Amino acid sequence: MAVRIQKGRALGLFNLTPMIDMVFLLLIFFLVASRFEEEERALELNLPSASEAMPMTVRPREIILNIDRQGRYYLGQQPVEMQTLREALASAVRNNPLSQSVIIRADEQVPYKYVATAVNLCLQAGVRDYRTAMEASVP
């Protein structure tokens, strides 16, 4: 008695030819585009230099806000009062309205209310990118 094996119809339903055509077209496009980019930079030029030139987009400097065990605030290494800190944050946001970031570093023994106050000052000044920093310990 002969055994009949029925082949599935799944292979007949999917036509892979259009997908393979698209992959080859994309491959050709990227090969040609990368070649044009190489040719644009191949010409040897002595470009002028500008002493005062800056990049078009400058990543703003992150503000490091430190809080010691007694709850005193420091911008970098300089101790600051609450009003001075508020003004410094507002000034930084005016200079970089969309991308100013603040890193809050607090001593592990400091009460959390000082960290919450620092976060609140950031929000009042308009800083949306603030983070708390901690030291990672490797076991």
Closest C-alpha to 100, from 70, 129, 138, 65: 129
pLDDT of res. 35: 72
Where do the domains of the chain lie? 15-42, 63-133
DSSP state of 70: T
For 94-129, how does the pLDDT look when each residue is reduced to its tens digit (9 = 90+)?
A: 888 778 899 999 888 889 899 999 999 999 999 888
The two structure tokens encoding residue 134: 């901690």
pLDDT of res. 13: 67
> Which is higher by pLDDT, 28 or 56?
28
Whether the predicted pLDDT of 8 surpasses 80: no
pLDDT > 70 in the chain, percent: 71
What pTM was computed for the model? 0.55
Q: Reply yes or no on domain 63-133 having CATH 3.30.420.270.
A: yes
Name the helix (H) or strand (E) containing 112.
helix 112-125
pLDDT of res. 9: 60
pLDDT of res. 133: 81
For 33-84, how does the pLDDT look when each residue is reduced to its tens digit (9 = 90+)?
A: 777 666 655 556 565 666 666 665 556 678 889 998 888 999 878 899 999 9
